[in-house]
Amino acid sequence: MDMKLYDYLIVGSGLFGATFAYKAKQAGKRCLVIDKRPHRGGNVYCENKEGINVHKFGAHIFHTSDKEVWDFVNSIVEFNRYTNSPVANYQGKLYNLPFNMNTFYQMWGVTTPEEAQTKIEEQKAEAVAAMKQAGIAEPRNLEEQAISLIGKDIYEKLIKGYTEKQWGRKCTELPAFIIKRLPVRFVFDNNYFNDKYQGIPIGGYNKLIDGLLEGIEVRTGVDFFENREYWESIADKIVFTGKIDEFYNYRFGKLEYRTVRFEEATLDCPNYQGNAVINYTEKEVPYTRIIEHKHFEKFGTEVYQCPRTVISKEYSTEWKEGMEPYYPVNDDKNNALYGKYKELAAQENNVIFGGRLAEYKYYDMAPIIGRILKKITI
């Protein structure tokens, strides 16, 4: 049997593909990475503008409680101390997220955890009583679910409009199970994540991707499907990180995705909104949030050493053919369809499927890396 050129052909240079390539190279394997985009890094790709690393495909904040994963990424590039602390803007008033004592003080003027708990319990009881009166035993939709978990004030100001923009449907038409719980914190802490470690690579995510792919052959602007037979012939195994339904030529039908689009602007001011992420929670504002990229890596006086700033307005959009797929729509219909593709994938001996699109599930970045470090034998 002819020896093939490569041990692994890796389709996609996002976090899964790049981390797999790094570990495979360490194991002495010959790898080729191809990507149909003109750049490496998939959705973590950054573009430098005005000395600012712009997250081209949305805000990426690395967070984990797994020390092995944290030490691994920091062995490639040092991470900074960025802490995700988004703010919500509702009709010109600002509220801290996640829901915490700052939020409750801004909402009701309460100053102690006990007062805040009492207020929330009162509002929940009102909601449950109103539902009972209307003969509703269990929440039938997202609106009823959210109000029974958190009360009407927070729901109406901070959840309703944002959720309707994200999903493109009214909360009364969305299933209750989308919100299983709403984390409420009775402390004055705006850190969004509970994880032990969080930050952003110093110099941006390209530094992480380039570090992972150092010394590995990478070809961008190459579509696996345009010359599939050739690509399949040059390697013993394939690591596939694209859409699993496309890999199987949509045999059972097409999976659905949600996507986001960005309107980017460079502004002649050093500090536009004072925070990396501000959510706009009213329905009438068409975008879901504004990202000001410099706050991911510049702190204190550094913000003003860079005279301009780059912002991105983020819009949730129904995914259509040709758009970049971002999020799997993990409803019953799509999960059942994915199950059929997964059965096919399980029969493959020489193909490894990995990542958001190939496994049809939402992944944060750290679990992707954790999976390769702990669960995949190279």
Question: What span, in angstroms and rounded, lies between the C-alpha atoms of 269 and 247?
Answer: 46
Query: Out of 314, 326, 359, 371, which one is annotated catalytic?
Result: 314
Query: Out of 185, 297, 360, 371, which one is annotated catalytic?
Result: 185
C-alpha gyration radius of the chain: 23
Burial 205-239 (b: 16+ CB within 10 A, else e): bbbbbbebbeebebeeebebeeeeeebeeebebbb
Q: Where are the beta strands (DSSP E) in 12-152?
A: 31-35, 46-49, 52-55, 62-64, 87-90, 93-96
**How many residues does this entry show for the chain?**
378
Query: Out of 45, 192, 258, 292, which one is annotated catalytic?
Result: 258
CB 225 within 8 A of CB 342: no
Query: Out of 248, 250, 304, 362, which one is annotated catalytic?
Result: 362
Residue 37: active-site member? no
Residue 362: active-site member? yes
Q: Which amino acid is at 296?
A: F
Question: What span, in angstroms and rounded, lies between the C-alpha atoms of 358 and 106?
Answer: 43
Q: How far are the Cα atoms of 72, 242, 294, 374 from residue 23, in angstroms, in the given order?
A: 11, 20, 32, 11
Residue 219: active-site member? no
Other C-beta atoms closer than 10 Å to the C-beta of 283 total 13
Nearest to 95 by CA among 284, 292, 314, 282: 282
Residue 181: active-site member? yes
Residue 230: active-site member? no
Q: What is the DSSP letter of 201?
A: B
Query: Out of 40, 289, 356, 371, which one is annotated catalytic?
Result: 289
Query: Out of 81, 181, 268, 332, which one is annotated catalytic?
Result: 181
Q: How far are the Cα atoms of 117, 154, 187 from residue 114, in angstroms, in the given order?
A: 5, 17, 11
Exposed / middle / buried, residue 181 (Cβ in 10 Å: 0-12, 13-18, 19+): exposed
Residue 364: active-site member? yes
Q: Could you tell me the two tokens for 337?
A: 């369809």
The catalytic residue positions are 181, 185, 258, 289, 314, 362, 364
